[in-house]
Amino acid sequence: MEFSINLTAPEKAAADCLVLPLSGIKLPAALAKLDERASGWLSTLIAGADFSDKAGTVLSGYLPIDGAPQKVVLLQLGKDVSPASLRKAFDALARTLIAGKSASVTIALPPLKGIDAEDAVAAITQAIILESYRFTQFKSEPEPAPALISITLLLTKKGELKAAEEGLARGLAVGHGMNLTRDLGNLPGNICTPTRLAEEAAHLAERFALKLTVLEEADMAALGMGSLLSVAKGSTQPPKLIVLEYHGAGDGKKAAKPAVLVGKGITFDSGGISLKPGEGMDEMKYDMCGAATVLGTLRAVCELALPVNVIGVIPTCENMPAGNAVKPGDIVRSMSGQTIEVLNTDAEGRLILCDALSYVAKFDPDVVVDIATLTGACIIALGHVTTGLFANDDDLADALYAAGQQTGDKAWRLPVWDEYQDQLKSNFADMANIGGRPAGSITAAAFLSRFTKDYRWAHLDIAGTAWKSGAAKGATGRPVPLLVEFLRQRVEKKGKN
């Protein structure tokens, strides 16, 4: 699929389909010449009852341009255009275009009050890339690819060209990163093993000249990662600790401290000895969406060549029942030296993350953000709309929240107050790995916070946002947009200092 940007007037555009985004139901002055060539039929369509002023309304039809039929799609952006209404409208447009039969489309982007060309172009590009996604590699007769192969974005002002080009690059990068995350999440557990995740990391490292380190079981044992390795014991698949380093701001002694992203990579979660119910267990292949998010975010960062230092760390293994699997009541020793009583083997994500969070201190990070499909309790608290956000630093929490608001990939902060630590008390070890049903997502974050005291840390619980169930079952690619925007804003903030 090819995208291009130019300054051609709408009435001179040539494409199978012409898209006219509008704000309200009044004919804009910029379309007056096109309406004249259509003998007034464009203004008639806009004023018709079938085209409302509700954002996301789409009306397709044909106009007699100089006597020849021209397919036209009217897109309503809403009377008062906002980033949210723009995303809603562009999502609706993307569905229409991808489902249609037009090979080439021209979209005449109007000037939008309060929204610059970069953000508008990024939004429409990302929407089309995401809607064109298909996961068909295991189908004998895959559905046909979309007919759409060429998209031209028209601008009204020459001065917007540079911003639009930057928006196009951002929309493509974020879309590609999200689709990589979706691909990995959608792969079945017999294909997407810890070894496969390491291979995907190697592909990224080769393509974008990243530094790759993969720690094997013996390496982790030598580091004292008894908590992580306890989860992997019941599986025949070898565990991995994958480290990818991107040095966009330099890698010398005076280089900027890195932002470290830690992604939970349980490639299949049976629950272990604390076995999950059979119904819906197939969805536990998605328990590595935190790892997939790290890889998708790094791909987007590399495509954009952001001048930041980012390190991705992925602890990955399977959680399976076996004769040698960790059992409820077992006590394991983490890399930090703290001991953990395993009361429930299905609370395994925190057991692999805690050792990874201890490991990343070696990078002297500026910030650490872990991403994990950690708790069903977060779904109960926030549903499938919002990612759970926890942090030991207010500025970091605020930056992640703002990035979510900016992109629509929203997160909501919950507390990690000391009072919740009482629920993790153990009579036999330094802590238990669960704190009971009350505040389950908070006590999980409280557990992780015990391993993050040496740096600024945030935890994103994506259990409710990383995938969809039901007829639309599949990975969503979230929270790649939030994290890419967070890293972009770090660049802008440092540029102002």
Annotated active-site residue in 71, 95, 276, 468: 276
Q: How far apart are CA 39 and CA 65, in angstroms?
A: 8
> Which residues lie closer than 8 Å to 316 by C-beta, 6 or more apart?
194, 197, 198, 239, 240, 241, 242, 265, 266, 267, 288, 291, 352
3-state class (DSSP) for residue 497? coil
- Helical segments of 416-475, H only: 440-449
Find out whether the peptide bond into 479 is cis, omega within 30 degrees of 0. Answer: yes
Q: What Cα–Cα distance (Å) separates residue 330 from each residue in 38, 147, 327, 339, 344?
A: 77, 56, 6, 10, 10
Enter the DSSP assignment of 365: -
The b/e string for 156-183 (b: 16+ C-beta within 10 A; e otherwise) is beeebeebbebbbbbbbbbbbbbbbbbb
CA atoms within 13 A on the CB side of 383: 3
Region at 322 (left for phi over 0; alpha for psi -120 to 50; beta for the rest): beta
Q: What Cα–Cα distance (Å) separates residue 425 from each residue in 328, 429, 434, 444, 460?
A: 15, 8, 9, 13, 24
Q: What Cα–Cα distance (Å) separates residue 424 from each residue in 415, 437, 461?
A: 16, 12, 19
DSSP string, 52-85: -SSTT-EEEEEEEETTEEEEEEEEE--SS--HHH
> Which residues lie closer than 8 Å to 78 by C-beta, 6 or more apart?
23, 53, 54, 55, 85, 89
Q: How far apart are CA 378 and CA 58, in angstroms?
A: 35
Enter the tokens of residue 125: 């590009």
Q: How far apart are CA 55 and CA 76, in angstroms?
A: 5
Enter the tokens of residue 448: 């992780």
Q: Is 421:478 a contact under the CB 8 Å cutoff?
A: no
Q: How far apart are CA 475 and CA 468, in angstroms?
A: 6
Q: What distance separates the 2 farthest-apart alpha carbons in the chain? A: 85
Q: How far apart are CA 461 and CA 391, in angstroms?
A: 11
Burial grade of 240 (CB within 10 A; 0-12, 13-18, 19 or more) = buried
DSSP string, 124-167: HHHHHHHHT----TT-SSPPPPPS--EEEEE-S-GGGHHHHHHH
Neighbours of 123 (CB within 10 A): 23
Annotated active-site residue in 170, 240, 299, 350: 350
**Is residue 276 flagged as an active site residue?**
yes
* Active site residues per annotation: 276, 350
